[in-house]
Amino acid sequence: MSPAGALDLKLFDETVAAVALFAGPEHRLIYQNAACSRMLGARPLGRPAREAFAEPDAGEFLTVLDDVVATGQPRQLPDSREPDPGASEQARYFVYSCTPVTTPHGPGAMVVALDTTAETMAFERYEALVAAVSQMVWVLRADGSAQEIVPGWQELTGAPWHGWMDERWDAYIHPRDREGLRQAWRSAAAQEPPGIFEHTFRVRAAGDSYRHMSTRCVPILRNGRAEEWVAATTDVEDTWGAALRERLLAQVAEVSGGSLEEAFAAVVKIIVPELADACVILLLSHEEWPLPENATVTARRVASATRPGLPARPALLGQSVIVTDTVREVLQSRTPRTFHLLGDGQAPPGLVPAVTERWLTAADATSLTLIPLVVDDIVLGYAAASTNGDTPVPGPADIELLRRVFHLAQRPIRRALDLQQARRTALRLQRAHLTHPPAVPGARLAACYQPASSANEIGGDWYDAVMFSDGTLVLDIGDVAGHDLTAATAMGQMRSMLRGLAWNKGPDCTPATVLAMLEDAAEGLDIASFTTAVHTHLRREPDGTWRMTWANAGHPPPLLLPAQAEPYFLAGTDEDPPLCVAPDIPRTTHTHTLAPGDTLLHYTDGLIETPTASLDDGQQRLLQAAMHHRSQPLPDLLRLLLGLSDHRDDTAMIAFRADAPN
């Protein structure tokens, strides 16, 4: 205790803090400064504390005086004073300390009080403000302990707030978000001085669904160090979901894959990893709906995607699965259905091809959701989306968003279906015109046609071969500009007209004359605006050679593979333009002699043209490949040369080989 003589009460007269001194067994008030009179009201000196502080709520204060004098231990307490009912003044808040002292009147206590009304009211207003905007507010300390200022954790998760940022708290964070959350926190804490931490992550809510929460955490710096962090956490699930839907649907709207497979491949890349860990598209083999009850229907795997970190997805090799009753039920109801997989990732048999079943097991799949794929009220097939490892099984909102994405993908899929139908029609038309070459005495013929790999490239390439009664052979190769059904239709018309004109004029009509007549007819009938072609006559001479005459309308030059020399192109001295470009320019007939064993190749530009190389480079590759494979039978030669094409464009070839002498 302080010696009585050491207390000079005048020291407290002008202090901001309220000071009062009590002495004796009745705690008589022997001193109060001006600040105490203003804060608590002037009290009569010399009176016992119970009389000086006779308010009904002063009981705790009097008890503290008794306890401090009896124990000799100081105390510090918050307190408040409520105004009388009907009074205009507001409640007042203060904090006071009570310290034992020795006075001339015996043992006593000194009380020092500070008015904290402004600070308390400011904090209450802050609490009301953050509560009004539905935020959880909490304080994180350097030792990892945490205190809720504005509660909300238990309401969100169904679990009580446990006061520590440890593994118990970590267990509520979505597994896919934990590492990103840790990295963001480490990055903010590592700054000098520590910076503001902001991050959005998923928290497991009551009912085991996940909600997106956004946290902004501001450091409280003391001596340049962050002693505490004040965090405000807001539920942003609705905002996040709306933004995700907008982003995914915008991506779906941009899907423009030419073929059905390309369209679905683009869609699954949008879904993974945002909405699923993996996704496979399976298209039905049966095009009519509803599915026949007694017929076997298969579903073919055409597209797939997996998120990083999972085993590599199986190659697309057209694997199929027979549609089971379970899958039929899903397709007929047109409602997604989720299958919870066994602990070893095994899916119920028959939902997906066997290769996908094995992958699901290897990738530790936890669920498989089937989503029917419906376009124009027709069920094309279904998507199979999986969750794997520690990814939670999708909830109703996740599945609805999956269904919505596929629903909005109908437009690009519809375009792909229309293009696919047009491609089938064009290919049927093209193949109807590409007849098998005739047998030629003293020579061999072979031809092939390879459509482009993309559904956008239907093409207008053709070949033809006609034998006159005198033994003259006519070979044609041509390409109508365009890559659609119109080009394929024009191709059929141009080929038919060229064949008819050549037959009508007979073998003695020069190739240049025939092409000039074809050009005139195409111009007059408005059939094709731009066409390249080579029209060739081959007539066998008594010595076993073949006299070749030809005219070239802007087409890649024929390739000659001599039996005893290096291959070269038969390029004439005059370059004639394509058909229907400059009809007034006379056309030229060229002549060459083929020896026994020589091979002549007509081809279209799809064989030699690529986006990354010039036409000259393509011709050089063709020369080298022809030299390497020149001894092969004609069908094998064409098959090997076809490997030069990148299949972006369709390719037609027809080859002639003069028989060697016996």
47 occurs within a structural domain: yes
242 CB-near residues (< 8 Å, 6+ apart)? none
For residue 453, which of 255, 645, 605 has the smallest C-alpha distance? 645
The answer to whether residues 246 and 217 belong to one domain is no
Q: How far apart are CA 534 and CA 482, in angstroms?
A: 18
Q: How far apart are CA 407 and CA 418, in angstroms?
A: 17
Tell me 315's DSSP state.
P
Q: What dihedral do alpha carbons 245, 250, 251, 257 form, nearest 10°?
A: 130
127 occurs within a structural domain: no
78 occurs within a structural domain: yes
pLDDT by residue (tens digit) across 6-40? 567 788 888 888 999 999 889 999 999 999 998 88
**CATH no. for residue 446?**
3.60.40.10
Least confident span in 198-202, 367-371, 457-461, 621-625: 457-461
Instruction: Reply yes or no on whether the pLDDT at 55 is more than 60.
Output: yes
Burial (Cβ within 10 Å: 0-12, 13-18, ≥19) of residue 408: middle
**CATH no. for residue 205?**
3.30.450.20
CB 305 within 8 A of CB 313: yes
The answer to whether residues 390 and 514 belong to one domain is no
For residue 576, which of 561, 588, 560, 564 has the smallest C-alpha distance? 588
Beta-strand (E) ranges in 130-223? Answer: 135-141, 146-150, 197-204, 210-222
**CATH no. for residue 274?**
3.30.450.40
394 occurs within a structural domain: yes
Task: Retrieve residue 569's tokens.
Answer: 């192109």
Beta bridge partners of 590: 550
Tell me 393's DSSP state.
P
Considering Cα of 128, then 132, then 136, then 141, what sign does the dihedral take?
negative
161 CB-near residues (< 8 Å, 6+ apart)? 146, 148, 151, 153, 154
481 occurs within a structural domain: yes
The answer to whether residues 559 and 593 belong to one domain is yes
pLDDT of residue 611: 75
Instruction: Reply yes or no on whether the pLDDT at 84 is more than 70.
Output: no
CB 533 within 8 A of CB 474: no
The answer to whether residues 105 and 154 belong to one domain is no
Q: How far apart are CA 138 and CA 123, in angstroms?
A: 14
pLDDT by residue (tens digit) across 550-577? 999 999 999 999 998 999 999 865 679 9
Give the mean model confidence (pLDDT) for residues 509-522: 94
The answer to whether residues 439 and 577 belong to one domain is yes
Of 83, 117, 151, the residue at which a domain comes to its end is 117
The answer to whether residues 316 and 300 belong to one domain is yes
% pLDDT > 70, the chain:
89
Average pLDDT, rounded, for the chain = 85
Give the mean model confidence (pLDDT) for residues 450-461: 65
Instruction: Look up the domain containing 311 and give its range.
Output: 242-420
Q: Comparing 132 with 583, which gets the higher pLDDT?
A: 583
Task: Retrieve residue 374's tokens.
Answer: 């419906």
Of 358, 390, 420, the residue at which a domain comes to its end is 420
18 occurs within a structural domain: yes
Q: Is 27 helix (H, G, I), strand (E, B) or coil?
A: coil
Instruction: Reply yes or no on whether the pLDDT at 326 is more than 70.
Output: yes
The answer to whether residues 231 and 247 belong to one domain is no
Which whole-number Å values give the CA distances from 395 to 143, 201, 208, 391, in the listed order?
A: 36, 17, 9, 12
122 occurs within a structural domain: no
Q: Comparing 343 with 268, which gets the higher pLDDT?
A: 268
The answer to whether residues 368 and 388 belong to one domain is yes
412 occurs within a structural domain: yes
pLDDT by residue (tens digit) across 577-628? 999 888 888 999 999 999 999 999 999 998 998 877 788 899 999 999 999 9
Beta-strand (E) ranges in 236-377? Answer: 278-284, 298-306, 320-322, 337-340, 365-375
The answer to whether residues 312 and 198 belong to one domain is no
pLDDT of residue 278: 95
Of 391, 420, 449, the residue at which a domain comes to its end is 420
Identity of the residue numbered 384 = A
610 CB-near residues (< 8 Å, 6+ apart)? 618, 646, 648
Task: Retrieve residue 468's tokens.
Answer: 């006159």
Considering Cα of 325, then 331, then 335, then 339, what sign does the dihedral take?
positive
Q: Comparing 486 with 59, which gets the higher pLDDT?
A: 59
pLDDT of residue 3: 42
Q: Is 523 helix (H, G, I), strand (E, B) or coil?
A: helix
Considering Cα of 539, then 540, then 542, then 544, what sign does the dihedral take?
positive
The answer to whether residues 76 and 168 belong to one domain is no
Least confident span in 282-291, 496-505, 529-538: 282-291
The answer to whether residues 519 and 653 belong to one domain is yes
Q: How far apart are CA 592 and CA 585, in angstroms?
A: 23
Q: pLDDT category, 2, cuts 50, 70, 90?
A: very low
The residue behind tokens 């839907």 is 245
106 CB-near residues (< 8 Å, 6+ apart)? 23, 24, 25
Identity of the residue numbered 382 = Y
Q: pLDDT category, 455, cuts 50, 70, 90?
A: very low
Domain count for the chain, please give it: 4
pLDDT by residue (tens digit) across 395-432? 888 898 889 888 877 777 777 676 666 666 666 665 66
Q: How far apart are CA 176 and CA 129, in angstroms?
A: 33
The answer to whether residues 527 and 496 belong to one domain is yes
